[in-house]
A and B are shown apart, each in its own frame.
Chain A
Amino acid sequence: MSDERRLRVFLVDDHAMFRAGVRAELSRRGAAMPGTAAPGAEGPGTQVDVVGEASTVAEAITQIALREPDVVLLDVHMPDGGGRAVLDAVRRTHPQVRFLALSVSDAAEDVIGLIRAGARGYVTKTISPDELVEAIRRVADGDAVFSPRLAGFVLDAFAARPDTPVTDPELDQLTNREREVLRLLARGYAYKEIAKELFISIKTVETHVSNVLRKLQMSNRYELSRWAADRRLV
């Protein structure tokens, strides 16, 4: 990871005030950061440029195809199908664009459909600017970003239940290590703190979370499809 990394970010949200706020926060941080890049910290050299924004699904689809950003911050709830519609339209044609779901709701079942449609993470809109930049960097690197609640939801959905048949152990079960990582995430630990707690590297923590994301996207566990179906998100 180079110190002078610049990430191109696109905002999709139907609330103009929220877009303006995120844009201001990200650019303020970008202006303040150069020169303060401390080695060893979690990607402090990362800078974020907001290359565009869209307020509707249709606008988002054309603009994302045009600008080809690294990361799209995607609102879950929008008219005309919400973030899900954007994902479905862009995901296949532009696989290199990564999506980070951003929701005012921290009910993870609202977001599970977006994760399963290909978003690489989910954060709530109350997230601090620094955490948001960190999440953007992580998603741009192909890793996953889980909020504590999403981690809790995944633990719940993958809980071992005697009545749930496991068709594919590779996808339908979490390893003990993944479970530990998720528990710490749910307890509010940052990746760095998880790494320290479990005596593993941050990269390993990221690998575990990415594996969990893959299971979350691919598994056919009943709980996942049920949640998504309840919200008509499948």
Chain B
Amino acid sequence: MTSGEIITTPPPALPRRLYRRLDDRFLAGVASGIAAHLDLSTVAVRIGFVVLLAFNGLGALIYAAFWAVLPVQQPPGLLAKPPRRDLAELLPFAAIGAGVLLVQSLAGWGGFNAVQGWLVALIAAGAGIIWHQAHPARRQRWSEALPQPPWLGRVLAESDRRGYLLRFIGGGLLVAVGTIGLIVVFSPVRDAGVPAILTGALVALAALTGVGLVVSPMLWRIFGQLRTEREARIREQERAELAAMVHDQVLHTLALIQRNAADAKAVQRLARGQERSLRNWLYKPTGSPAERLAAALEEAAAEVEDTYAITVETVMVGDHAVDARVAALVAAAREAMVNAARHAKVRTVSLYAEVEPEQVSVFVRDRGVGFDPSTVDGHRHGVRGSILGRMRRHGGSAEIRSEPGAGTEVRLSLPVRAGTEERLGDGGTT
């Protein structure tokens, strides 16, 4: 009888409930259900029931209690053809029961009476209710973790929780009553003259302990389930976010790249833009471009990359708040990058910014064709107005170093008042 294997054929992640099993039963399927649930041999459980039967019918009482309490399992595949019971198999169990009765009567044991049997059955029934109610609760949360309207989840959880609580209290009461009854029957202190209040307290304490013992494994299990379900929910959210990002951005970019496969510049621009967006997503941007220097420079570099299909290698050391003067510095740096992109004939431009206590410096450098500053300077508005003039107006300075064939470097620096801004260390590698 390896019924345990049959019941675990559904995916192991599904919650296991205590059922009666109609597909493998002699009477009501209680014994095989319990055996499957506890991973015991069905035969052993049946023998247990039969042996208990001998103690004033205790086995029958417990069996009846379980019968009343346990739901029937309906395995989809097995329902169609319920196997027939072989009555001949009952004989060995009957023999065992008779044997136990015989031994009992020979030895003269008679410790149990019917009242005690009923009380134990009561405890068993209560424990059964509590235990198998734990599982639908878990199931409810499983379905809650799946995407559905949030209000629906809340309503379901609310009503489920109420019913759950009622059954929980009911089961606890049964266990408590059964425990108290057993203590009253067996009480060693009943005739010892102990004050009645003390006896009552002891009985209550014992009942509580009984309930606690019955409930604690279940509480522990629920605690673990809550934890794993919360983790699962977080994972699910992250997965959904990732899926949305991949769908909205990456797949679109890949489609565009395929359509523009002949145009190397367009492909480079698309790939670089997507790379930037993925990086931002992975490493979280440092702040708003309107507020932080690093973010503002990165935004400017991204614009230049997109417009001119080049790569801007951005390195930031430190960060600073953006005010009017810093914004002018960013604008000048942007102009320098645009110039490099348009005139230097290179694929890569380096942008380096460093925030020191008393000044902010920005360097834009390319290894391109270069020019002679003394000849070109006069009629190039971009350099004169947008870079040199702008920096001067805001109290900073700009220097352009270039020679034909050796590339160009624009050096911008802007004094900042020491102590106006706390230097931030985290911006260095954004």
Binding site for B on A (CB under 8 A): 105, 107-109, 126, 148-149, 151-153, 155-157, 159, 161, 183, 186-189, 223
| Complex CA–CA separation, A187 to B283 (angstroms) | 22
Of B352, B354, B423, B429, which is within 8 A of A188 by CB? B352
* Interface bits B358-386 vs A (CB < 8 Å: 1, else 0): 00000101010000000000000000000
Of A105, A151, A156, A188, which is within 8 A of B427 by CB? A156
Residue of B nearest to A155 (CB): B317
| Complex CA–CA separation, A234 to B427 (angstroms) | 21
- CB-defined contacts of A126 to chain B, threshold 8 Å: 311
Residue contact B429 to A156, C-beta cutoff 8 Å:
yes
Residue contact B429 to A149, C-beta cutoff 8 Å:
yes
Residue contact A152 to B317, C-beta cutoff 8 Å:
yes
CB of B425 closer than 8 Å to a CB of A:
yes
- CB-defined contacts of A183 to chain B, threshold 8 Å: 352, 354
| Complex CA–CA separation, A153 to B429 (angstroms) | 6
Residue contact B423 to A148, C-beta cutoff 8 Å:
no
Residue of B nearest to A160 (CB): B357
Could you give 28 example pairs across A and B, Cβ below 8 Å? A105-B282, A107-B279, A107-B283, A108-B428, A109-B429, A148-B313, A148-B350, A148-B352, A151-B315, A152-B316, A152-B317, A155-B354, A155-B428, A156-B317, A156-B318, A156-B425, A157-B425, A157-B428, A159-B317, A159-B318, A183-B352, A183-B354, A186-B315, A186-B317, A187-B350, A188-B313, A188-B352, A223-B425
* Interface bits B335-370 vs A (CB < 8 Å: 1, else 0): 000000000000010101010000000010101000
CB distance from A18 to the nearest CB of B (A): 15
- CB-defined contacts of B316 to chain A, threshold 8 Å: 152
Residue contact A152 to B429, C-beta cutoff 8 Å:
yes
Apart from A109-B429, A156-B427, A186-B317, what are 20 other A-B pairs with CB-CB below 8 Å? Answer: A107-B283, A107-B429, A108-B428, A149-B313, A149-B315, A151-B315, A152-B316, A152-B428, A155-B317, A155-B354, A156-B317, A156-B425, A157-B428, A159-B317, A186-B315, A186-B354, A187-B350, A187-B352, A187-B409, A188-B350
Residue contact B317 to A188, C-beta cutoff 8 Å:
no
- CB-defined contacts of B279 to chain A, threshold 8 Å: 105, 107
Binding site for A on B (CB under 8 A): 279, 282-283, 311, 313, 315-318, 348, 350, 352, 354, 363, 365, 367, 409, 423, 425, 427-429
| Complex CA–CA separation, A31 to B330 (angstroms) | 46
The 5 closest A-B pairs by CB, nearest first: A156-B428, A188-B350, A152-B315, A187-B352, A153-B429
The majority secondary structure among interface residues of chain A is helix
CB distance from B96 to the nearest CB of A (A): 55
| Complex CA–CA separation, A109 to B426 (angstroms) | 11
With contact pairs A107-B283, A186-B315, A187-B365 given, residues A161 and B354 touching in the complex (Cβ less than 8 Å): no
- CB-defined contacts of A223 to chain B, threshold 8 Å: 425
CB distance from B364 to the nearest CB of A (A): 9
| Complex CA–CA separation, A189 to B363 (angstroms) | 11
| Complex CA–CA separation, A17 to B313 (angstroms) | 25
- CB-defined contacts of A148 to chain B, threshold 8 Å: 313, 315, 350, 352
CB distance from A124 to the nearest CB of B (A): 9
- CB-defined contacts of B423 to chain A, threshold 8 Å: 159, 161
Residue of A nearest to B316 (CB): A152
Residue of B283, B313, B350 ringed by the most chain A CB atoms within 10 A: B313
Residue of B nearest to A112 (CB): B429
With contact pairs A148-B313, A187-B365 given, residues A161 and B350 touching in the complex (Cβ less than 8 Å): no
| Complex CA–CA separation, A126 to B313 (angstroms) | 11
- CB-defined contacts of A161 to chain B, threshold 8 Å: 423, 425
- CB-defined contacts of A155 to chain B, threshold 8 Å: 317, 354, 428
| Complex CA–CA separation, A188 to B425 (angstroms) | 21
CB distance from B161 to the nearest CB of A (A): 38
| Complex CA–CA separation, A126 to B347 (angstroms) | 12
CB distance from B352 to the nearest CB of A (A): 4
| Complex CA–CA separation, A189 to B315 (angstroms) | 13
| Complex CA–CA separation, A187 to B367 (angstroms) | 11
CB distance from B358 to the nearest CB of A (A): 13
CB distance from A145 to the nearest CB of B (A): 16
- CB-defined contacts of A186 to chain B, threshold 8 Å: 315, 317, 352, 354
With contact pairs A148-B350, A187-B365 given, residues A159 and B283 touching in the complex (Cβ less than 8 Å): no
Residue of B nearest to A222 (CB): B425
Residue contact A188 to B428, C-beta cutoff 8 Å:
no
| Complex CA–CA separation, A188 to B344 (angstroms) | 15
| Complex CA–CA separation, A153 to B363 (angstroms) | 16
| Complex CA–CA separation, A159 to B283 (angstroms) | 22
Residue of B nearest to A154 (CB): B428
| Complex CA–CA separation, A155 to B367 (angstroms) | 23
CB distance from A209 to the nearest CB of B (A): 16
- CB-defined contacts of A149 to chain B, threshold 8 Å: 313, 315, 429
| Complex CA–CA separation, A107 to B286 (angstroms) | 13
| Complex CA–CA separation, A153 to B317 (angstroms) | 7
CB distance from B275 to the nearest CB of A (A): 9
- CB-defined contacts of B429 to chain A, threshold 8 Å: 107-109, 149, 152-153, 156
| Complex CA–CA separation, A152 to B427 (angstroms) | 10
- CB-defined contacts of B363 to chain A, threshold 8 Å: 187
Residue of B nearest to A223 (CB): B425
Residue contact B352 to A152, C-beta cutoff 8 Å:
yes
| Complex CA–CA separation, A126 to B279 (angstroms) | 15
Residue of A nearest to B367 (CB): A188
Residue contact A153 to B365, C-beta cutoff 8 Å:
no
| Complex CA–CA separation, A149 to B367 (angstroms) | 18
- CB-defined contacts of B318 to chain A, threshold 8 Å: 156, 159
- CB-defined contacts of A189 to chain B, threshold 8 Å: 365
- CB-defined contacts of B350 to chain A, threshold 8 Å: 148, 187-188
